[in-house]
Amino acid sequence: MKNENAIVIGAGIGGLATACLLATEGIRTTVLEKNDTPGGKMQEYIEAGYRFDTGPSLLTMPFLLEKLFSRCGKNLNDYLEFSEPEIICRYFYSDGTLFDSYSDPDKAIKEVQNIAPADADAYRSFLNYTEDLYSKTADSFLFNPLYEFKDLKSLNWLDLLSIDAFSTVSDKVDQYFESDYLRQFFKRFTTYNGSSPFKAPATLNVIPHVELNQGGYYVQGGLYRIAESLEILAKELGVTFRYNTPVTEIMVKQKEATGVKAENGEVLNADLVFANSDATDTIVNLLPECALSKRKRNRQIKIEPSCSGFVIMLGCNKQWEQLRHHNIFFSSDYKKEFEQIFEQKVLPDDPTIYIANTSYTDKNHAPEGGSNLFILINAPYLSDDQDWELLSINYRDKIIKLLSDRGLKDLENSIKVVKTITPFDFYNRYGSNRGSIYGTSSNNKFSAFLRPRNKLREFENIYLTGGSTHPGGGIPLVLLSAFNALELMKR
């Protein structure tokens, strides 16, 4: 492979990880990115002394980053410093009840006993159940490219019969818990891959395992340090980066890609093409129309995206003692909230509000005495009848008022910096399918099998990486997509 050259389209986490792995194999690698920074949806925003991560704020399964760095001959700890906030997240229920989640089992049980004493045993057994799901699904669905017959053959079919693919997250959680508090708490994890707990298969109850049993991590300085460190690593390995270079076409000849065309008309030849661009965009827009069957293109167009997000970043000259690093203000009617997002495709009128307040951990993320509130609300993916310019300001003001009513006293008057990001911005800036932020949704029991695999079967040398491909969205799965793509290339 020594004389081969590869082009990676996109410098998101998937593209960066892929570039590092390719360079480690001795392949000359160039990354072409449409924007002017690495990281894709993982970005940072700094204004007037306030600093925000504009994308991910929680890292799970950090051992995958460790694996990536060590595969590239480096030690992760030379690049990044991790910490684990003692309270993983503070929850504020609509009736004023407060609940802190911990990965420490004793502390967690104490908290559960405060709000739902009758469910303490159920809490323990539910976590065992999520661990069991992980052990039955991780090798089969995450660490496995699921590409050809031999991948399917390696599955343990007996295990697969007991991973609850035929009931929903919500049904299973309701079976375990009496308490509405714990029901809402455990249903929220489905949003980590942008899906509805009322539709997604109960298999997704595996997600609480990776946070509550394995731990939720922060990277000192902010999660954007991950993107920066991957770019540094890639450059050390000899990868070339070209920013402000949107790719408009993957050029193909029969069953092979020959290279790509950039927006400025430049043609770059390549032996291998790895697309970290959204899979729908790659299949429908970057490949020539005649390169793939109409059926395949239509199937890709019809695939349901994950939800999007409505983000408000507030730099405030005030601190609220009740806030921790991660905070969730729950809505009063979870079912209605998800119906509004996924069925009616409107912004929920009583949304669940997530706030990352990294200045709680990283004091220099806000001027002294201030806070940097990164507010995220699950929002519908783009549809024809939304006007985000119009919606944006009203909704932002509504959320600020809502938070003030929920205890962030005087929020309106403490704001020094304000910036919003809408679903349209996610589409426009990163080319993500209808503004989705976690790739495709899992609102279907077969979704694990519907996501595009990490290699296009129709071509010898086109690979797909990133959250819109197998095994799914979120930093850990995106890293796994890069490992899978590399394995398929080696095969």
Task: Name the site residues for ligand FAD (rule: CB under 6 A).
Answer: 9-15, 32-35, 40-42, 55-58, 246-247, 276-277, 281, 309, 311, 376, 430-432, 437-438, 466-467, 473-475, 478
Residue 416 has phi, psi (to 5 degrees) of -110, -30
Smallest distance from the beta carbon of 175 to ligand FAD, in angstroms? 28
Smallest distance from the beta carbon of 119 to ligand FAD, in angstroms? 27
Burial status of residue 203 (CB atoms within 10 A of its CB: 0-12, 13-18, 19 or more): buried
Q: Which is nearer to ligand FAD, 276 or 357 (CB)?
A: 276
Smallest distance from the beta carbon of 226 to ligand FAD, in angstroms? 9
Residue 206 per-residue DSSP state: G
Smallest distance from the beta carbon of 208 to ligand FAD, in angstroms? 14
Smallest distance from the beta carbon of 75 to ligand FAD, in angstroms? 22
Q: Which is nearer to ligand FAD, 129 or 189 (CB)?
A: 189
Contacts for 116 with CB less than 8 Å, ≥ 6 apart:
123, 177, 178, 179, 181, 182
What's the helix, strand, coil split of the chain in %, to 5?
40, 20, 40
Smallest distance from the beta carbon of 282 to ligand FAD, in angstroms? 8
Q: CA distances (Å), 155 to each of 22, 139, 159, 444, in order?
A: 28, 8, 8, 21
Instruction: For residues 368 and 459, give the distance between their C-alpha atoms in angstroms, rounded to a whole number.
Output: 56
Q: Which is nearer to ligand FAD, 41 or 451 (CB)?
A: 41
Instruction: For residues 29 and 18, give the distance between their C-alpha atoms in angstroms, rounded to a whole number.
Output: 10
Q: Which is nearer to ligand FAD, 40 or 221 (CB)?
A: 40
Q: Which is nearer to ligand FAD, 122 or 223 (CB)?
A: 223
Q: CA distances (Å), 227 to each of 199, 289, 484, in order?
A: 32, 33, 20
Instruction: For residues 125 and 45, give the distance between their C-alpha atoms in angstroms, rounded to a whole number.
Output: 41
Residue of 314, 324, 251, 268 lying closest to 92 (CA atoms): 324
**Which helix or strand (DSSP H or E) is residue 240 part of?**
strand 240-242
Q: Which is nearer to ligand FAD, 116 or 291 (CB)?
A: 291
* 3-class SS of residue 373: strand
Residues 14/184, Cβ–Cβ less than 8 Å: no
Q: Which is nearer to ligand FAD, 38 or 197 (CB)?
A: 38
Smallest distance from the beta carbon of 42 to ligand FAD, in angstroms? 5
Smallest distance from the beta carbon of 249 to ligand FAD, in angstroms? 9
Structure tokens at 345: 């495709």
Q: Which is nearer to ligand FAD, 247 or 411 (CB)?
A: 247
Q: Which is nearer to ligand FAD, 15 or 85 (CB)?
A: 15
Smallest distance from the beta carbon of 478 to ligand FAD, in angstroms? 4
Q: CA distances (Å), 152 to each of 155, 231, 399, 482, in order?
A: 5, 34, 46, 20
**How many CB atoms sit inside 10 A of residue 63's CB?**
11
Structure tokens at 154: 């390696």
Q: Which is nearer to ligand FAD, 10 or 201 (CB)?
A: 10
Q: For the packed helices 120-137 and 180-187, what is the interaxial angle rounded to 10 degrees?
A: 20
Smallest distance from the beta carbon of 200 to ligand FAD, in angstroms? 16
Helices and strands per DSSP (H, E), number in the chain: 17, 19
Q: Which is nearer to ligand FAD, 11 or 489 (CB)?
A: 11
* 3-class SS of residue 476: helix
Smallest distance from the beta carbon of 106 to ligand FAD, in angstroms? 26
Instruction: Name the residue with tokens 């309701």.
Output: 174
